[in-house]
């Protein structure tokens, strides 16, 4: 009787540990990303100043495309933490360039975001669908491309400031290891870049994206 009871307790404990065991998930995504207008202040570049009302284009599917990579450690069936790299993009539209006498104004090799994230998911053992939400904070690392017509050209990666992001979506489990997901992702970055020819460029950029992706868990 004692042996049977002990065995039952051990089996129950093992099942509980298995249920709550940590899980690591690797994810990749692409999607359609946009950005609303923002103010761009250029101070002291080639001896001049500009205050630009920039209209941005995302051009998600032009090379290099919009994409992201994410690693998440699910501590239990509800909460997770992780890190993420997101290659977002913004290009000043033609009217912005013409109105402000610019050759180029863009972060097209990435307004790259590197963040640490916290996650919450709502699993249902009777469903393959799992809603989730997350938030993150990190660094904005854009490839700064700026040149006024006849002026000095800036063309380089810089760490320009902080970024915060919010994510909400739903995943669909194909099997025990693979899943597909769709989500909304919004990010707000605060950027101050140094320019060739002197001076700085400052702008706060919001990016909005609808993502689709695939995850592998182990």
pLDDT in tens, 28-50: 999 999 999 999 999 999 878 99
Alpha-carbon gap, residue 93 to 207, rounded angstroms: 15
Cut 0.85: pTM above it: yes
Binning pLDDT at 50, 70 and 90, where does residue 163 land?
very high
Query: Which CATH architecture describes the domain 21-217?
Result: Beta Barrel (2.40)
Cα 10 to its chain centre, rounded Å, is 43
**Span 100-153, pLDDT tens digits:** 999 999 998 889 999 999 999 999 999 999 999 999 999 999 999 999 999 999
Question: Which of 84, 139, 141, 83 has the alpha carbon at shortest distance from 110?
Answer: 141
């Amino acid at each position: 009787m004692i042996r049977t009871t002990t065995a039952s307790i051990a089996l129950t404990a093992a099942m509980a540990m298995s249920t709550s065991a940590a899980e690591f998930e690797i994810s990749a995504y692409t999607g359609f990303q946009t950005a609303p207008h923002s103010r761009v202040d250029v101070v002291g570049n080639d001896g001049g100043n500009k205050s630009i009302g920039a209209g941005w284009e995302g051009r998600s599917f032009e090379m290099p495309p919009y994409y992201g990579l994410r690693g998440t450690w699910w501590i239990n069936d509800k909460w997770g933490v992780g890190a993420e790299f997101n290659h977002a993009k913004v290009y000043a539209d033609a009217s912005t360039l013409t109105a402000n006498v610019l050759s180029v104004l863009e972060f097209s090799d990435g307004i790259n975001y590197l963040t640490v994230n916290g996650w919450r998911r709502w699993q249902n053992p009777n469903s393959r669908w799992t809603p989730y939400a997350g938030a993150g904070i990190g660094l904005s690392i854009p490839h700064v491309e700026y040149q006024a017509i006849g002026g000095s050209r800036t063309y380089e990666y810089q760490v320009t400031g902080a970024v915060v992001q919010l994510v909400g979506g739903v995943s669909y489990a194909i099997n025990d290891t693979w899943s597909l997901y769709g989500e909304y992702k919004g990010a707000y970055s605060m950027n101050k870049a140094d320019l060739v020819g002197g001076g700085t460029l400052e702008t706060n950029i919001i990016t909005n994206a609808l993502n689709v992706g695939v995850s592998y868990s182990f």
